[in-house]
A and B are shown apart, each in its own frame.
Chain A
Amino acid sequence: DTAVSQTPKYLVTQMGNDKSIKCEQNLGHDTMYWYKQDSKKFLKIMFSYNNKELIINETVPNRFSPKSPDKAHLNLHINSLELGDSAVYFCASSLQGFRYTEAFFGQGTRLTVV
């Protein structure tokens, strides 16, 4: 039973295309995230949703649009893909609360834009 699963695992596409990455968690968490990891392994937060509400929106181009249909799902749609979008995108989830929260990560989606 995968806790946080994202699809697809690999995505190769041409510049200018539109693509989506899907994420689902079965942990009962109420908060989900998208992170981008570049070639130097730097993991940078992009978005965070808590109970389907956008709570964090870092400086990310408008071409990136997250959508959370329910607490267990957070999808990422990317329009007009550019070469610089090539990276590994990680979905994560956690339980927000009064105390510390541990984030569980998916396996990542390796996006290559050619």
Chain B
Amino acid sequence: QKEVEQDPGPLSVPEGAIVSLNCTYSNSAFQYFMWYRQYSRKGPELLMYTYSSGNKEDGRFTAQVDKSSKYISLFIRDSQPSDSATYLCAMSAQRKIIFGTGTRLQVFP
């Protein structure tokens, strides 16, 4: 079993839709939870991070962490074609950042 599980998709939604991306994990030592966005043929870029359980909002993006269920989510409101990318969840502990497999999202006009 991988330490971090993420549905690879692809996920295809119309412009304006609400998108929900999720990850589960098994290592309870993880403390920092991140979402990275990776455009085609580019390196991943940090989108948001949260520490421990709770919610964090940044514009159209909301990150949620539920440590009791070992479950994290990223919500994208009013999705745009420019949001089309691969979204990778990531978690860190013990000086290591572990990534999920990434979910490919396509937002069509």
Contacts and interface: CB of A to CB of B under 8 A. Distances in A.
A107 B96 contact: no
Q: Which of A31, A101, A107 has the most CB of B within 10 A?
A: A101
Does more than half of chain A's interface fall in helix, strand or loop, or is it mixed?
Answer: strand
Interface in A38-81: 40-45, 48, 50, 55-56
Contact of B96 (A56, A100, A104, A105): A56
Contact of B92 (A43, A55, A92, A101): A101
Interface residues of A, number: 28
Given A55-B95, A104-B46, A105-B43, 20 more contacts: A35-B99, A40-B8, A40-B101, A41-B38, A41-B102, A42-B101, A43-B88, A43-B102, A44-B99, A45-B98, A48-B95, A50-B95, A56-B95, A100-B49, A100-B51, A101-B32, A101-B92, A103-B97, A105-B45, A108-B41
Interface of B: 8, 31-32, 34, 38, 41-46, 49, 51, 86, 88, 90, 92, 95-99, 101-102, 104
In the A-B complex, the 8 residue pairs with the smallest Cβ-Cβ separation, listed nearest first, are A105-B43, A43-B99, A100-B32, A41-B102, A42-B101, A102-B46, A105-B44, A107-B43
Interface of A: 4, 31, 33, 35, 40-45, 48, 50, 55-56, 90, 92, 94, 96, 99-108
6 contacts: A41-B38, A42-B101, A92-B43, A100-B92, A103-B97, A108-B42
